[in-house]
Chain A
């Protein structure tokens, strides 16, 4: 319950704290791991939405998330392979994963329009959180120019997702 409240009431605050805690800048192998993990998390919630959502715009949005995050993560995997980098698990990745497990548990308990609304709202919050992390932490810390460039492209795509999620969330009100 505590985790649930924390996620829904203060996701932004919590995540800001989680990212700030890592005072030392994340390394490229850690950044690659964080970016990949963030994508996988959104794919997992989109797959849940694809099976549970009732609203057609919410379903289409979930399809968009799966298509885009898979494509970006494939690109990320190809890049780390090319660079000979092994993604490295870290506190930020772990806190994102923990947070997403709580979110998925919450969403699984909801049905119909309540699910659609909660999913859309959590997608807005999640993309805000990840985009802020990319902008303020991951992109500035990235050393390899190709990694930095992929993160920048990812940010543009995910900013589009954030706006799209806001549109969908607004329609459901």
Chain B
């Protein structure tokens, strides 16, 4: 836990741009809002070991599901869920219930 916070702090200090940073200087989370059946922002950039947090502000359930099926975050209406990114690369994901909802996570080493 501590190392992750430290890593996030270092990343922020290094000036890594991320949506989470804009919301709170000490926030290691990269936030994605789900509203009107879409992921916003559709592309999010993080570093290995950092987490993405999705918040579902729609009245219906969604998921954030890796395109290769390797992970899934269940997102009930009004709830949040997160996933720590462990591998560098560019990963697509989608909502399993609404396959036209898609997003991308770019994970820097």
Contact = CB atoms under 8 A, between A and B. Distances in A.
Contacts of B37: 156-157, 159-160
B33 to A, nearest CB: 14
Interface string B28-67: 0000000011100000000000000000001111000000
Interface in A34-91: 64, 67-68, 71-72, 74-75
A3 to B, nearest CB: 32
B100 A157 contact: no
A74 B58 CA distance: 13
A158 to B, nearest CB: 9
Interface of B: 36-38, 58-61, 77, 97-101
A74, A150, A160, A163: which has the most chain B beta carbons within 10 Å?
A: A160
A157 B99 contact: no
B36 A153 contact: yes
A72 B100 CA distance: 19
Nearest to A70: B60
A68, A150, A159, A163: which has the most chain B beta carbons within 10 Å?
A: A68
A167 interface: yes
A19 B57 CA distance: 31
A153 B100 contact: no
A159 B60 CA distance: 14
A110 to B, nearest CB: 25
Given A64-B98, A160-B101, A167-B99, A71 B61 contact: yes
